[in-house]
Structure 1
Amino acid sequence: MTSISVAPSVSLEQCDARTNEGDRCVLGRVSILIPSYMRGEDLRTTLQHTVAQDYGDKEIIVVDDSTPTSTILDVVREFPNVTYVRTPENLGLIGARNFGAALCTGEFLLNLDDDSWLEDRLALTEIVEFMRAHPRTGVAGLNIRVPNQNYVWPVDSKSKLLRNYTGCGNVYRRGIIAAVGDYITEFHRQGEEVERSLRIMDAGYEIRSAPSIRVFHAQSVINRHPARHIAFTAANYLRRELIRAPLWLLPFGCLRALRWAVRHRNEMDRRVYISEVFGRRVPLLPFVRRYRAPVSTSTYLSALALNN
């Protein structure tokens, strides 16, 4: 299936008010969104853990980002209760997340990568309880562990406000997407969560840690190119400042972005960075004209004061 008719988005308040199966946003339902490209074996492991979640009203949607073979479809066919959708063309990770989010009907939207999964079978129940207990939280950042490293936070630590969340393990309150908009697809990859976090905070919602809800991120080697990823991170840092920094803080923001790039120059693919900064893929001036909408000074400075 490559296209599905989707009803218009609803606001956070409208979503909270709807309860019927026929409505777009179903209270208590958790939508689990998993974009995938070329990682069939990794996806199988993720789905094995995900379908085992001990929670009644869940929907699992896999977005095949136009993998050139049938590997993703073949894996999904092993799991009868998982929905498969395919993008009409390769959109990249950011575009695939936008594509899939538009199809979700749950009150809460759990974002996973195709190589990350919840470690506790009761995690979905805990997610709903956490979001109910923190009604102003637009996005919860889950506690992620990668191979040979500890979790981001001690599992028994208290929840705290965050500057941003991580793409391979987070939970949205569904109406937030309608309130602040989709990811900016021109970013292509890396840093899209940081940019949308600013919009979420500027709309008056919190980003908050959920230390007890644990995610393992296997970090598949397929489609993982660290030097390119750092180059995109650096270029998107500059783009983010150009469109979101208040005017009087814009020089400061651009300087921070350039300093970050210099500090990581030996780790990045410099050709990719230069190409991105000079607008060979996305011309910079039209991009800024299209998206320039600075957040408030209060939001900007509050985000800078927070850490993850």
Structure 2
Amino acid sequence: MGTKLPIAAGRVSILIPSYLRADDLRNTLRYTMAQSYGDKEIIVVDDGTPNSTILDAVKEFPGAIYLRTPQNLGLIGARNYGAAHCTGEFILNLDDDSWLEDENGVEAIVTFMRNHPSTGVAALNIRLVERGYLWPVDSESCQLRTYKGCGNVYRREAIVAAGEYITEFCRQGEEVERSLRIIDAGFEIRSAPGVRIFHALSPINRNGPRHMAFEAVNYLRRELIRAPLWLLPVGCFRALRFAVRHRNDMDRKVYFSELLGKRVPLLTFVRRHRAPVRTLTYFTALQLRS
């Protein structure tokens, strides 16, 4: 991601990638447009939906910015594409089926980031219908190992320092890998329990076994490129253990296709991205809450 964008101090860019979920997107935009904070931009990235449904949905909300990727990039690629067009000091990342529950949510985000200047990423308090919130809403902020993609806020400097998501991951596990780079760059990842997000978990374009297969393969990819050399065997063992533990939850055909490098040759991937984090970073991340 380049650093030559006209960055506006205090502005919050709200970035929403979308693919096929026009009705879900309408709900998200309805809540997002109602945010009371003044200096915000709302950017929807249509990730190559093969019709005009996403564009039609965005047109219903004057002021929202519509972008379309040149081809279907996948969720990770769409996030990178959108972030490159954001002009805010802070970037609020939402899924097209997640939204802030409180009308002053964006204002609370800015206050939180100002009060925690070493925070590179704020992990917001996500609520699922059957599980409730991640943390009690009145609990104290704490350092975390990573964050969830459907509700987080980036400080611009953290993106510049850590770099973009790795698009070869395609989906799943990209936040954990990027978190290592963010921590290694000297930033913290902190919970923001008072900023509440509802995640509707749309069934459209959601395939649990396929997603778990990517989660397992990307665990291995992450260890291969980020683990310090002397800890590489340990990291690979942990990735293998994860895959065995979740073998009945995943699409094994997708797992072995990815593992064998049919889409992304593993050796090429490692050569391109191998840049281990410091040993201190690696152990710090292991000790933090996920």
The count of residues paired between Structure 1 and Structure 2 equals 290
- Which residue number corresponds to residue 19 of structure 1? none
1:89 is matched with which residue: 71, 74, 86?
71
Deviations 1:167-224 (A, max 9, x none): 0000000121111110000000000000000000000000000000000000000000
1:235 is matched with which residue: 217, 232, 252?
217
Structure 1 residue 39 corresponds to structure 2 residue 21:
yes
1:191 is matched with which residue: 167, 170, 173?
173
- Which residue number corresponds to residue 247 of structure 1? 229
- Which residue number corresponds to residue 202 of structure 1? 184
Mapped to 2, the partners of 1:148 and 1:250 lie a distance apart of 38
1:9 is matched with which residue: 3, 7, 15?
3
TM-score scaled by structure 1? 0.93
Opposite residue 283 of structure 1, the aligned amino acid is: P
Mapped to 1, the partners of 2:262 and 2:122 lie a distance apart of 35
Deviations 1:6-54 (A, max 9, x none): 9x415xxxxxxxxxxxx71101100000000000000000000000000
- Which residue number corresponds to residue 12 of structure 2? 30
Pairing of 1:114-125 with structure 2 (within 5 A): 114-125=96-107
State the secondary structure of the residue aligned to 1:94. helix
Opposite residue 271 of structure 2, the aligned amino acid is: R
- Which residue number corresponds to residue 18 of structure 1? none
Structure 1 residue 138 corresponds to structure 2 residue 132:
no
Opposite residue 107 of structure 1, the aligned amino acid is: E
Mapped to 2, the partners of 1:178 and 1:160 lie a distance apart of 24
State the secondary structure of the residue aligned to 2:132. coil
Opposite residue 103 of structure 1, the aligned amino acid is: H
- Which residue number corresponds to residue 83 of structure 2? 101
- Which residue number corresponds to residue 58 of structure 2? 76
TM-score scaled by structure 2? 0.99
Mapped to 2, the partners of 1:137 and 1:306 lie a distance apart of 15
State the secondary structure of the residue aligned to 2:191. strand
Cα RMSD (Å) of the superposition? Answer: 0.9
- Which residue number corresponds to residue 152 of structure 1? 134
Opposite residue 248 of structure 2, the aligned amino acid is: N
Deviations 1:252-284 (A, max 9, x none): 000000000000000000010011111110000
Opposite residue 115 of structure 2, the aligned amino acid is: A
Pairing of 1:213-292 with structure 2 (within 5 A): 213-292=195-274
Opposite residue 18 of structure 2, the aligned amino acid is: S
Q: Which aligned segments of 4 or more residues in structure 1 are displaced greater than 3 angstroms?
A: none
State the secondary structure of the residue aligned to 1:231. helix
Mapped to 1, the partners of 2:8 and 2:203 lie a distance apart of 36
Q: Can you give the 5+ residue segments of structure 2 that lack an aligned partner in the other structure?
A: none
Q: Can you give the 5+ residue segments of structure 1 that lack an aligned partner in the other structure?
A: 1-5, 11-22
Structure 1 residue 170 corresponds to structure 2 residue 164:
no
State the secondary structure of the residue aligned to 1:76. helix
Deviations 1:103-162 (A, max 9, x none): 000000000000000000001111000000000000000000112111000100000000
- Which residue number corresponds to residue 303 of structure 1? 285
Deviations 1:52-108 (A, max 9, x none): 000000000000001001000000000011000000000000000000000000000
Mapped to 1, the partners of 2:136 and 2:254 lie a distance apart of 36
Mapped to 2, the partners of 1:67 and 1:275 lie a distance apart of 25
State the secondary structure of the residue aligned to 1:9. coil
Identical amino acids, percent of aligned pairs: 70
Opposite residue 91 of structure 1, the aligned amino acid is: L
State the secondary structure of the residue aligned to 2:165. coil
State the secondary structure of the residue aligned to 1:260. helix
Mapped to 1, the partners of 2:249 and 2:71 lie a distance apart of 31
State the secondary structure of the residue aligned to 2:134. coil
